[in-house]
Amino acid sequence: MPIDMLNKIEHLGIAVKSIEESAIMYEKLLGKPSYKTEAVESEGVSTMFFQIGESKIELLEATNPSSPIGKFIEKKGEGIHHIAYDVTDIEAELKRLKAEGFELIHETPKDGADNKRIAFLHPKSTGGVLVELCQEK
């Protein structure tokens, strides 16, 4: 078994209706301010990040209702949206996971927030949990 396939949980993605409103609660909960906000135009999403030890919390707010986060909020409401694993070689991991029978939402990595290359696995093939792979640029 090769080492360093999935290194750690990089972040948890949490869908919120309003980052501005949720930030107030998360700052109290986590006891610290966020270190970054960033819009990802291609995904129709605004993000806010909190660092918790080695991992992060990513708040996600839809910038338009037809974006993936907009649809998620409409269907399920606010809550945990995805779990993101840090990987060393995202292309190699996508190839490995595809060969293992996982369904890829992105066949090739794309640019995500927080200086990452990212790709998602379909929750149909991961027991209902949306999985993100991310590699530091």
Q: Which residues bind Zn ion (CB under 5 A)?
A: 13, 58, 84, 132
Looking at the Cβ atoms of 84 and 90, the one nearer to Zn ion is: 84
Smallest gap from residue 62 Cβ to Zn ion (A): 14
Chain-centroid distance of CA 125 in Å reads 17
Looking at the Cβ atoms of 93 and 132, the one nearer to Zn ion is: 132
Looking at the Cβ atoms of 49 and 102, the one nearer to Zn ion is: 49
Smallest gap from residue 114 Cβ to Zn ion (A): 8
Nearest CA among 128, 98, 129 for reference residue 13:
129
Q: CB nearest Zn ion: which residue?
A: 13
Looking at the Cβ atoms of 9 and 24, the one nearer to Zn ion is: 9
Smallest gap from residue 132 Cβ to Zn ion (A): 5
Smallest gap from residue 120 Cβ to Zn ion (A): 9
